[in-house]
Amino acid sequence: MQVWAWKMSSLWATSRTVGRPAYDTTIESVSLPENVQRIVNSYQTGISNYLFKASCLTGLNGWQAKRTLPRQFIKFIEKAFDLYDQLVQFLLGHLHREGFSTQCAPGCTHCCCHMPIGVTAPELIYLYHGMHQSGHLAKFFRRCLEAEENWREILQSHVGKQCGGAQPTFVRETVLKQYQQLEHRCPFLQDDLCQLYPYRPLACRMHFSLSTPHWCRPSHFQNEHAVQFNLEPEEKIFAALEHLEDRLQLHLSDIMVCGMLELIVNVLKFQKIDLVS
């Protein structure tokens, strides 16, 4: 097995765990040059500020019973994620100037057989809003059920627990790897394009590859040598999302399809969220 630990002229990339350099590899912004770091910090502050503004809105208490949210809630989430995308493009530009170009492009979906984890309730609500906006909620719901069934079968073979239950880290990592090997396509893909791309969670927005696209496919014979990395937000952004989650009084599974099914069936009962002024 290869452990990815390499140094560019101005930033480090290291593997968080001993193993193949794939989903959990992070480029740490703390190692960026000072002038780049200042710009990154400005972006990250703006993102966390938008999320904080969302958490300060009136109308969040008891929203589940009425299935209503302030219109500004969606607007603030949208602005935060748009700003995060701008940050990502800035960092990718910096990487390109250092001689490292990502190979990711529209229609490349080889990494879209991962199961996104660490997804927060605000992200799931934004994704659910996008599902309704698309007009294909029923189709996406059925596909999420299929993905959840595959996930649950693998999980139960290890611990006999239902989807979303707390598992030791080593069990979750094993299940993630086995699920990836199934190459089960993301429920939101159609003709190799994400149908909910503007609403996708951070786990999808941060993941990139420097290798030939086909190497990212788990069954490809060169997959273990694929150089993949995450442009992960600072902790203050995750803290802002968790604070917003607490304000919503909504604690769902952080596994994307499991949390989404809980939101659809148990919380919102398939109903559209009404956005009020």
Say whether pLDDT at 84 is over 90. yes
> How many separate domains does the chain show?
1
Q: What is the pLDDT of residue 29?
A: 57
- Quick one: pLDDT at residue 167? 63
- Mark 146-160 as b/e (b = at least 16 C-beta within 10 Å): ebbeebbebbeeeee
Token output for 254: 């952080």
DSSP 162-182: -TT----HHHHHHHHHHHHHH
pLDDT digits (tens, 9 = 90+) for 133-161: 999 999 999 999 999 999 999 988 887 55
Burial label for 241, CB within 10 Å (0-12, 13-18, 19+), is: buried
Residue 256: which of 154, 120, 59 has the closest Cα?
120
Predicted TM-score (pTM) of this structure? 0.87
The residue that leads in pLDDT, 93 or 165, is: 93
Per-residue model confidence (pLDDT) at position 56: 96
pLDDT for the residue numbered 13: 33
Which residues is 25 bridged to in the sheet?
15
Asked if the model's pLDDT at residue 16 lies above 80, the reply is no
Average confidence score pLDDT of the chain: 86
Structural domain containing residue 155: 5-276
Degrees to nearest 5, angle at CA 22 with 197 and 203: 30
* Per-residue pLDDT tens over the stretch 185-229: 999 999 999 999 999 999 999 999 988 999 999 999 998 888 888
Q: How far apart are CA 51 and CA 73, in angstroms?
A: 9
Q: What angle do CA 189, 195, 198 make, to 5 degrees?
A: 125
Q: pLDDT-based confidence at 98, cuts 50/70/90?
A: confident
What is the pLDDT, as a whole number, of residue 160? 59
Per-residue pLDDT of 102-141, as tens digits, reads: 989 889 999 999 999 999 999 999 999 999 999 999 999 9
Q: What is the pLDDT of residue 18?
A: 29
What sign has the CA pseudo-torsion 97, 99, 102, 106? positive
Kindly compute the dihedral angle of the four CA atoms of residues 90, 96, 98, 103, in this order, to the nearest 10 degrees: 120
pLDDT at 228: 86
Q: Which pLDDT band holds residue 166 (cuts at 50, 70, 90)?
A: low
- The answer to whether residues 249 and 64 touch, using CB atoms and an 8 Å cutoff, is yes
pLDDT of 22 higher than 60? no
Nearest Cα residue to 256 out of 194, 209, 210: 194
